[in-house]
Structure 1
Amino acid sequence: MNEIVVPSAAATLLGGPLRPDAPALDALFDTIAAGSAQREYERILPHEPLGLIRSTKLGALRLPVEAGGAGASFRELFGVVLRLATADANVAHILRNHFTFVERYARTPRNAAEEGWRRAVADGAIVGLANTESDAKVVGGSPFATVLRPDGDGWRISGRKYYSTGTIFSDLVLVRVATPEGGNASLILPVKREGIEIVDDWDGIGQRLTGSGTTIFNDVRVEPDEVVPDGTGVGYGTAYSSTLPQLYLTTVNAGILAAVLRDATALLKSRKHTYFFAPTPVATEDPILQQALGEISAAAYAAEALVLATAEALDVADALRASGASSEEVNAAAHGAALKAARAKVIIDDLTLRSASQLFDVGGASAAHRAVNLDRHWRNARTLASHNPRSYKARLLGLHAIDGTPLPPSSFF
């Protein structure tokens, strides 16, 4: 990666971690937003924005203050993620696997290895993911073709992973593998480890700069303390532990919706022409265009409210877990948060896609110029909405409403 050149407007941000309410975050997000459209248009990977995030220790938001973090609640975390996604949906998406890793393996360490991962995050390290295998019949699921092989006192792995979002920008990567006994495990490895190759071959219509391509493991050495088997009470396999990454994607879409409102407002204010049959000669005085903008504004408000309400439900479950409440109480609260996250996705995905189309009603034909790159909002939102399709969530929400059937507790719901 090239050396990071810190823009002067963001130079004062270095040396975090930043509190979620720190005014300096505005400068950070403004700096990231300033180049967002150009980066997407020219396909410039966002190494510089990720360098700023690493320098400001933004990835340590959820670590305790005494561990070098900001001690943020889930509500504060998702408020920050929404603002970051408004600035650049690609950059926000890149950090999804990082914040999920922090929650599962670093925030409350149980051993020396996890203590080390927490220190790395506190120092600014970013963590990526290598989970999905393209030949798997179930997306993101097991069995994995990447299997641990004994190698002295440790292990080795060989395999290929796809959808490795964020790994090309990361310092560590979490790798999902099978164990020789037939179970599953997580490996946390340095991305510079000999034998790891990261390929930027993601060719999706949207979220083009997330580095969601291939990670290849060529006889890579794995140390014993880099292995976390499933079933240890943390990480993968814990009931409803994936509500966080599920809500995260929905929050990125809510941020895209806020960006649509920002761009639609600027478009309407800058319009010098209108239709020959428009009710007024001045675009900002046109009630039809005012209504379209107002609907986008209402949708953005609703999306933010749903995200923050769901994040508060995660805080309730987290507080119960920290207080030593019974597993029944914790699971009930976690299921309640999962319900809210599913409902939020069903609504926010629709609101964002509709608003990203309404943007062109507000802007007119000139808004469709390729160089303006406003179509990125719809493309990005459509790509994010395709993760774990809303139809599956809506169906199970309906089943729950009929007879109380709980949502699936497993990973990819």
Structure 2
Amino acid sequence: MNAVTQSLRAAAPRLPTPGSPELEELLAALSEGASERDASRTLPFEQVALVRKSRLGALRLRKEEGGGGLSLRELLSVVIRLGEADPNVAHILRNHFGFVERFTQPSVGDRHLRWARLVAGGDIVGLAMTEMNAKNVGGVEFETRLTRDGDDYVLNGTKYFSTGSIFSDYVLVRAQDEGGRYVSAVIPSVRDGMTLEDDWDGMGQRLTGTGTTRLANVRVAPEELIFDDESDGVGFGRPYHGSYSQLFLTAIVAGIVRAAAAEAAALVKKRARTFSFAPTERPVDDPILQQTVGEISAAAFAAEAAVLAAADALDRAVASRVEGRPALDAAHDGALAAAKAKIIVDELAIRSGAAVFDAGGASATKKSHNLDRHWRNARTLASHNPAAYKARSVGQHLITGDPLPLTGFF
């Protein structure tokens, strides 16, 4: 451990690890007012500030570098709870944890330490990657360009769906240089020439800041760059690097099912009226309503179990990489598990989000209750990389032995 990480650890608050009172306090704070924020489209800057102060973003960082040293299974168990408390905040952090996974894990030498120190101090990293006119089939070509300008570089381009970046301290921008090499630039979110817009108008996940990033002659220092072909098998040059990001989304969806189960039970408990043909006078004694709540609760259990089982598979792939023996088979197994989890969890969440209204009746559809947020948020997250593509690839692999695609969220 070096002096920098020693001083960081000495000054930093205790991390909100699984089972700790710090985590429970943070989750309670994030949950408070989450429905109202969703309904009024109040961006959660205060809630993200609490996350930053808690250093939640360092949970996956190694302990000797100021982090929590959590396994992926442990981290994703926290993400499920975050998704239950506020899926918008959980989604805001997805790209940050993707950055941590790609660039702060040990590789050859100490190159990761620059980024690990930022994360250990509580800084949050966003992402600007997607381009609307990119031809993704067979790979990604970026129009965003990094060009030499004296001893430094400049970035120019436009990115879309930059989830979380307006809340972040740094933004990772994906681009290509003049020679076509792929590169990641990690720069402060307040850098001159970079404009972060909140123009996301989706029906769900309304508060994630999934907007446009505009780059106009943004200056970048050489030490802020990570070229894919110099990343020693980490970063975006790693096979199946998207599996973790996909499973992170699925963990949020599993959290939404937990929230739907709790909401359905609460609805039945406080329900005063019932139908003239109901089997019992009191809704709480109605076996049909009890069954509805039980089915949503079972869906939450199954969704969480699927996510954590896939996390175990990804942990095995990470272990092979950290030990210096990256195993492509292990990475493929992780991708396969993440794909299977998405296929089933998305379906459970969408069904459960609708079933809440079976527990609450027509009065539960009042706009003031905002109970449609569970379905809207789950449906929006599930639309990222539709499950049909995952199911087809899983089936093809089982029938023909063809591997899953290396690119995208596989």
Q: TM-score range by the shorter chain?
A: over 0.9
Letter in 2 for 1:355: S
Q: Would you say 1:124 and 2:122 are equivalent positions?
A: yes
Between the aligned partners of 1:361 and 1:253, the Cα distance in structure 2 is 20
Between the aligned partners of 1:109 and 1:175, the Cα distance in structure 2 is 21
Letter in 2 for 1:55: K
Letter in 1 for 2:136: V
2:243 is aligned to: 243
Between the aligned partners of 1:182 and 1:272, the Cα distance in structure 2 is 65
Letter in 1 for 2:287: P
Between the aligned partners of 1:407 and 1:289, the Cα distance in structure 2 is 42
Between the aligned partners of 1:112 and 1:198, the Cα distance in structure 2 is 31
Deviation of 1:173 (Å): 0.4
1:196 is aligned to: 194
After superposition, the C-alpha distances for 1:149-181 in whole angstroms (9 at most, x for unaligned) are: 110011101111110000000000000101111
Deviation of 1:409 (Å): 1.7
Letter in 2 for 1:130: A
Deviation of 1:139 (Å): 8.6
Between the aligned partners of 2:308 and 2:200, the Cα distance in structure 1 is 31
Q: 1:365 to 1:162 in 2, by over 3 A?
A: same
2:20 is aligned to: 22
2:268 is aligned to: 268
1:353 is aligned to: 350
After superposition, the C-alpha distances for 1:110-165 in whole angstroms (9 at most, x for unaligned) are: 56663222111000000000001122233996211111111001110111111000
Q: 1:208 to 1:140 in 2, by over 3 A?
A: farther
2:79 is aligned to: 81
Contact 2:107 2:322 in 1 (8 A): no
2:329 is aligned to: 332
Identify the match of residue 95 of structure 2 among 75, 94, 97.
Answer: 97
Q: 1:50 to 1:109 in 2, by over 3 A?
A: farther
Letter in 1 for 2:253: N
Q: 1:96 to 1:19 in 2, by over 3 A?
A: same
After superposition, the C-alpha distances for 1:192-229 in whole angstroms (9 at most, x for unaligned) are: 11111111000001000000001111110011111111
Residue 236 of structure 1 aligns to a residue whose secondary structure is helix
Q: 1:21 to 1:139 in 2, by over 3 A?
A: farther
Between the aligned partners of 2:290 and 2:116, the Cα distance in structure 1 is 49
Residues 136-175 of structure 1 mapped to structure 2, 5 A cutoff: 136-138=134-136, 142-175=140-173
Between the aligned partners of 1:294 and 1:265, the Cα distance in structure 2 is 9
Q: With structure 1 as the length reference, what TM-score do the two structures score?
A: 0.93
Letter in 1 for 2:101: E
2:9 is aligned to: none
Identify the match of residue 48 of structure 1 among 33, 46, 49.
Answer: 46
Q: Where in structure 2 are there 5+ consecutive unaligned residues?
A: 1-11
Identify the match of residue 380 of structure 1 among 377, 398, 405.
Answer: 377
Deviation of 1:15 (Å): 1.9
Between the aligned partners of 2:136 and 2:242, the Cα distance in structure 1 is 16
Structure 1 stretches of 4+ with a deviation exceeding 6 A read: none
2:298 is aligned to: 298
Residue 162 of structure 1 aligns to a residue whose secondary structure is strand
Letter in 2 for 1:394: A
Between the aligned partners of 1:132 and 1:365, the Cα distance in structure 2 is 40
Residue 331 of structure 2 aligns to a residue whose secondary structure is helix
Deviation of 1:24 (Å): 1.9
Identify the match of residue 388 of structure 2 among 382, 387, 391.
Answer: 391
Residue 334 of structure 2 aligns to a residue whose secondary structure is helix
Residues 202-213 of structure 1 mapped to structure 2, 5 A cutoff: 202-213=200-211
Deviation of 1:19 (Å): 2.3
Between the aligned partners of 1:111 and 1:133, the Cα distance in structure 2 is 33
Between the aligned partners of 2:92 and 2:69, the Cα distance in structure 1 is 21
Residues 273-284 of structure 1 mapped to structure 2, 5 A cutoff: 273-284=273-284
Between the aligned partners of 1:125 and 1:141, the Cα distance in structure 2 is 31
Between the aligned partners of 1:17 and 1:106, the Cα distance in structure 2 is 17
Deviation of 1:237 (Å): 2.6
Residue 176 of structure 1 aligns to a residue whose secondary structure is strand
Q: Would you say 1:183 and 2:148 are equivalent positions?
A: no
Deviation of 1:109 (Å): 5.8
1:371 is aligned to: 368
1:253 is aligned to: 253
Between the aligned partners of 1:128 and 1:157, the Cα distance in structure 2 is 16
Q: 1:218 to 1:324 in 2, by over 3 A?
A: closer
Contact 1:140 1:412 in 2 (8 A): no
Contact 2:14 2:22 in 1 (8 A): no
Q: With structure 2 as the length reference, what TM-score do the two structures score?
A: 0.94
Between the aligned partners of 1:254 and 1:190, the Cα distance in structure 2 is 32
Residue 150 of structure 1 aligns to a residue whose secondary structure is strand
Q: How many residues align?
A: 397
Contact 2:15 2:22 in 1 (8 A): no
After superposition, the C-alpha distances for 1:59-98 in whole angstroms (9 at most, x for unaligned) are: 0001111111011011100000000110000000011000
Identify the match of residue 108 of structure 1 among 81, 106, 109.
Answer: 106
Letter in 1 for 2:381: L
1:214 is aligned to: 212
